[in-house]
Amino acid sequence: MDSLTQFTFGAAISAACLGSKLGPRKAVLIGGLLGTLPDLDVLIPFETKIDQFVYHRGWSHSFFIHAVAAPVIGELILRLFKSLQGNRILVWMTVFLCLTTHALLDSMNAYGARVFWPFFPDPVGTGSIFIIDPVFTVPLLVAVAWAIASTNWSAGLKRILVASLVFSTGYLVWGLIVQQHVHARGKSIFAERGIDVTNVKTVVTPFNTLLWRVIGQADGEYYNLYVSLFDDDHDAVVYKHEFDSALVSCVLDDPEYQKMVWFSDGFVRTDLIDGRIIASDYRLGLTPSYIFRFAIAEYVDGQFKKISPEPILPSISNAGTEFGWLGNRISGRPSIRASEQKFLERNEVQDIAEC
């Protein structure tokens, strides 16, 4: 999640647990810092840009590391704040919650986090909440702002903090439930259209949990299907994306490419663009504006040459059109996505023309 969300989530937890003993402002500061602590792994020097991409949210996001770190950090807090003496277990548990909820939030993005490292080293990512979601963050932000503005602890402040945490936690559960519902609908739509896919992944679209992207993976191609809770599945639009799978043979043994395949659980595509082979994690971002794209090789006159991975930033030139489409689709209104219009299957073009 974004840094503001991580800070406010940790701050709300700490204020609810320690505010009555430490004071709301100090509790907010401690929790906010703990809530952002796991992301300090960005300061670790990595060998390549792809290493930085795939190994971020690594051991620092592990629940097991948090269990070891909580007593150590807890003891430091006890020594700094004498008013917490006699509350050792509460302090330890608060530290553990602030750290683990950070990792838990990250594991609910499509990007994921290695929450079970070292026993299970692969990243876990449900894709059930976007990295920025105001519905989740704003209630926590209001509660934390209230705590900062309060000079003393009060029952009213406690109710606000607890209510914000209950609501935001419930919102996470809501996202998981809706995701499973949409996932089943997406698989059903693919089957009804006669589209044979070998793997299906459902991820939320930006800033909401009402519109979802269902990705159907096939050999040398994949399908994007955007499903709103308010949709009539009969009008579903499928976008078919093909890519030059022959390019894979050029980079198949490249360690950088293999890292991306491992990290993305196989949802990676290769494209030849301006004489360079571009590898993209197509789970993240809206096609073709993938968030994580890397030039990993040059391909000129039939010759393959490995290069140091170079990140390719997504284009934001059509942001206004994208937001308009997003608003239409969230509300269940049929709308063709301009960025993918040329990838429409012919029967879907006819469906939209009849709407």
Beta bridge partners of 217: 199, 222
Q: Quick one: pLDDT at residue 273?
A: 87
* Domain encompassing residue 124: 3-153
Taking a C-beta distance cutoff of 8 angstroms, is the pair 140, 160 a contact? no
In a domain, 332, yes or no: no
Q: Quick one: pLDDT at residue 349?
A: 37
One domain, residues 10 and 145: yes
The span from the CA of 324 to the CA of 80, in Å, is 51
**Is residue 354 scored above 60 in pLDDT?**
no
The mean pLDDT value of the chain amounts to 92
Predicted TM-score of the model (pTM):
0.91
Q: What percent of the chain has pLDDT over 90?
A: 79
Residues 6 or more apart whose CB falls under 8 angstroms from that of 187 comprise 200, 214
In a domain, 289, yes or no: yes
Of 101, 127, 153, the last residue of a domain is: 153
Neighbouring C-beta atoms of residue 287, cutoff 10 Å? 18
Question: Which sign does the torsion angle of CA 81, 84, 85, 90 carry?
Answer: negative
One domain, residues 142 and 251: no
Q: Quick one: pLDDT at residue 293?
A: 94
The span from the CA of 224 to the CA of 158, in Å, is 44
Residue 315 banded pLDDT, cuts 50, 70, 90: low
For 113-165, the pLDDT digits (tens) are 999 999 999 999 999 999 999 999 999 999 999 999 999 999 999 999 999 99
In a domain, 324, yes or no: no
First and final C-alpha spacing in the chain = 38
C-alpha angle 113/119/124, rounded to 5°? 25
Mean pLDDT of 288-302: 87
AA letter at 199: N
- The count of structural domains within the chain is 2
Residue 274 banded pLDDT, cuts 50, 70, 90: confident
Q: Quick one: pLDDT at residue 345?
A: 65
Question: Which sign does the torsion angle of CA 98, 99, 100, 105 carry?
Answer: positive
Neighbouring C-beta atoms of residue 72, cutoff 10 Å? 10
Mean pLDDT of 301-320: 80
For 162-220, the pLDDT digits (tens) are 999 999 999 999 999 999 999 999 999 999 999 999 999 999 999 999 999 999 999 88
**Is residue 346 scored above 70 in pLDDT?**
no
AA letter at 74: G
In a domain, 212, yes or no: no
One domain, residues 128 and 257: no
Considering only CA atoms, which of 242, 219, 339, 244 is closest in space to residue 288?
A: 339
Residue 317 banded pLDDT, cuts 50, 70, 90: low
One domain, residues 10 and 117: yes
